[in-house]
Structure formats: structure tokens, C-alpha cells
């Protein structure tokens, strides 16, 4: 999810920041890029008089407890940098085309783009084609590649599902999930204890405030209402966070038989193949960095951390209509 999608999700589910206000893209971006959540906090970043940012050489680094592992934090920074408009155009990041920004023509090494056309029956067809050939002609690419969009989309999604969602890999993923769950549970225990201490402190303040009201020690009703609203909001936030922690850890199987692994892998694979287009795109772009396409095969590659995959289609990917008889240049299908 991008920053805007995260903001939409948080606000849609009713989450609010510490001040009780909705989230904004600037705040979420600051959270994602704040190294204090990793392992270091910088002090003396701004001039106390002018409020201008000081040179980084003058910043003072203070080690702090790690909330987000450094590896995950750096991965997020890399993802944010790759999505900057100056690096990747928004039309690629936000495009609904499944493989946009990933495809390269094997012949010339250039990017591939989506092309559309209209056949004799009036229906439209879509295909991925070599962008260099489309823009510059055969001088830029001597053996241009063009593949039907739906066919290549299905091949890539199915190949990733076949390579990753296998019974053998599922047992490995389960072991990793159990280990990850134990680490989360350990962290959640500390967070749960801190939240309960905060909740106890807030309830103590509410009790003291009510006692002061009963004794007539607070004459300003408006100040009382503001204070009580703030305390009630903080209490509700603590209760919501405690509830979220308790609901975040579903029970996991401790082991899988061969039959169970095969059944679950088959079910997961089917769900992925039938998933909404947006979910499939997240899956593909999360695992794949590049797809080299020629007329007979597609080679999929990605970072090691994302479990790189390579696949060759056994048959040709299929041709694209080069011409359709009885097309007309002014009326009917091309109008």
C-alpha cells in the first residue's frame, strides 16, 4: 500500500491520531520515514531561534529502543524512494495494468507498453508491446515482441502461484510464521503491560477529577469538559489498542501433514488466481522486479528476499493480430 492508501484505510476504519484527528498523508509519511522508530533519534536538528533545519553534520544521534527492525525500516525507505514521482511516474504506480513497469522486450531490452486496437466485430483487444518499436520503429527494435495482455497476466500470476504456493514451501512458511508470531507475542506482552499502566493512570486521573468536581474545587466548567473529554478519548484509545493486540494473533497450526499442506496450498493458489485485480497486482509487484519477454517465453526475476522465480511457458505465448481483413479507416470498427 502507498501512503495515500494507508491513510484511506486508517480513516475508513475509524482510527485517529493522538489528538483525536483523522490521519493525513504528511503524518503517515513522517511516521514511515522517522528513524526514531528504528534505532536512533536525532537531536539538535533545527536552530532554536530561527527554526531552520541545521546541516546533518550538526545533528546529535541518540540511540533509542528499536520498535521496527532496521531491515524492515530500510526496506520501506527503498520502496518509498522507488515510488517517488521523480523516479517512477505516478501513471505506473497507480496504473490498473497488472504488469506495468515490469516488462522488458528481450530483443532490445526496452520497456513494454500497453497497446489497444479494435477488431472487425467492434470488440477491443489489448496487448503488451515493445515501446521502442511503437515509438521509434524497426530501427530501435528489429524483433519486437507483442503479447496479449490477458494471456501474459494469467501466465505470470499462475507461475508465481505454482512456484511459491507449494506444499513443501507451505511447511517452511508455517515454521517462519510461528517464529514470527512468537516474536510478536513477546513484543505485544510488553506493549499490553504499558497500555494497562497508561489505562490505570488515566482512570486514576478521571477519579481525581470527579472527586474535585464533587468537592467544588473546579469552578471553570469549560475547562472541566475539555479535560474530561481528553481523558475519555485517551482511555478509549487505550482500550481500542488493547483490543486490537488481543485480536491480532490468530491461532496457528503447529504442524501440517502432507495431505493438509497439499489441500491448503491448492486452496490458497485458487484464491490467488481468483483474487481481485488490485490484490493480484500487489502480490506481483511485491515479488517481481523484472520480466523479460520474447516470443516463446517469459523469464520472471525478483530480489532474493522476495523469492525470485523463473518460468518458461511450454508453448508459444500466442500471436497478436497484425491485421484484420476488411478493416475500414473511416467508418465502422475504427470510427
Q: What is the pLDDT of residues 276-320, one digit of tens each?
A: 887 888 878 877 888 999 888 899 887 654 443 322 233 344 444
Q: Which residue has the cell 519486437?
A: 144
Low-confidence residues in the chain, pLDDT < 50:
305-320, 322-327, 329, 334-335
Q: How far apart are CA 291 and CA 99, in angstroms?
A: 9
Residue 11 included in any domain: yes
216 phi-psi bin (left φ>0, alpha ψ -120 to 50, beta other): left
pLDDT at 315: 38
Residue 173 included in any domain: yes
Please count the structural domains in the chain: 2
Q: How far apart are CA 161 and CA 158, in angstroms?
A: 5
Q: How far apart are CA 114 and CA 5, in angstroms?
A: 25
Residue 217 included in any domain: yes
pLDDT at 152: 92
Residue 17 included in any domain: yes
Helix (H/G/I), strand (E/B), else coil: 307? coil
Which secondary-structure segment (H or E) carries 300? Answer: strand 298-301
Residue 279 included in any domain: no
Three-class SS of 75-111:
HHHHHHHHCCCCCCCHHHHCCCCCCCCCEEECCCCCE
Residue 274 included in any domain: no
- Domain with 51 in it: 3-92
Residue 81 included in any domain: yes
- Of 68, 92, 116, the residue that ends a domain is 92
pLDDT at 307: 43
- Of 44, 66, 92, the residue that ends a domain is 92
- Of 247, 265, 289, the residue that ends a domain is 247
What's the whole-model pTM score? 0.46
pLDDT at 318: 46
Q: How far apart are CA 297 and CA 312, in angstroms?
A: 5
pLDDT at 252: 56
Cell of 67: 520498535
Residue 57 included in any domain: yes
Nearest to 10 by CA among 327, 25, 141, 300: 25
Q: How many CB atoms lie within 10 A of CB 39?
A: 16
Amino acid at each position: 500500500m502507498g501512503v495515500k492508501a494507508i491513510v484511506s484505510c486508517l480513516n475508513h476504519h475509524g482510527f485517529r491520531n493522538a489528538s483525536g484527528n483523522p490521519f493525513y498523508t504528511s503524518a503517515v509519511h513522517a511516521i514511515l520515514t522517522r528513524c526514531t522508530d528504528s534505532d536512533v533519534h536525532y537531536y539538535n536538528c533545527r536552530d532554536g531561534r530561527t527554526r531552520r533545519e541545521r546541516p546533518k553534520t550538526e545533528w546529535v544521534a541518540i540511540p533509542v529502543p528499536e520498535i521496527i527492525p532496521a531491515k524492515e525500516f530500510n526496506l520501506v525507505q527503498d520502496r518509498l524512494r522507488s515510488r517517488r514521482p521523480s523516479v517512477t511516474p505516478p501513471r505506473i504506480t497507480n496504473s490498473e495494468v497488472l504488469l506495468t513497469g515490469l516488462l522488458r522486450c528481450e530483443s532490445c531490452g526496452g520497456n513494454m507498453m500497453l497497446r489497444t486496437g479494435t477488431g472487425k466485430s467492434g470488440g477491443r483487444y489489448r496487448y503488451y508491446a515493445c515501446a521502442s518499436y511503437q515509438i521509434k520503429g524497426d530501427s530501435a527494435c528489429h524483433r519486437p515482441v507483442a503479447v496479449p495482455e490477458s494471456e501474459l497476466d494469467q501466465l505470470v500470476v499462475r507461475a508465481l502461484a505454482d512456484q511459491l504456493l507449494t506444499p513443501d514451501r507451505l511447511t517452511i512458511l508455517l515454521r517462519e510464521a510461528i517464529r514470527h508470531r512468537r516474536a510478536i507475542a513477546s513484543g505485544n506482552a510488553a506493549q499490553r503491560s504499558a497500555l494497562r499502566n497508561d489505562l490505570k493512570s488515566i482512570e486514576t486521573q478521571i477519579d481525581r477529577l470527579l472527586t474535585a468536581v464533587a468537592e467544588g474545587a473546579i469552578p471553570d466548567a469549560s475547562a472541566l469538559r475539555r479535560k474530561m473529554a481528553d481523558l475519555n478519548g485517551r482511555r478509549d484509545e487505550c482500550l481500542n489498542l488493547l483490543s486490537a493486540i488481543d485480536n491480532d494473533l490468530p491461532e496457528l497450526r503447529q504442524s501440517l501433514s502432507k495431505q493438509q499442506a497439499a489441500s491448503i496450498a491448492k486452496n490458497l493458489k485458487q484464491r490467488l488466481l481468483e483474487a481481485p485485480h488490485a490484490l493480484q497486482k500487489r502480490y506481483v509487484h511485491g515479488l517481481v522486479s523484472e520480466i523479460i519477454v520474447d516470443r516463446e517465453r517469459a523469464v520472471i526475476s525478483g530480489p532474493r528476499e522476495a523469492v525470485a522465480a523463473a518460468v518458461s511457458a511450454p508453448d508459444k505465448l500466442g500471436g497478436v493480430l497484425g491485421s484484420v481483413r476488411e478493416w475500414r479507416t473511416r467508418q465502422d470498427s475504427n470510427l
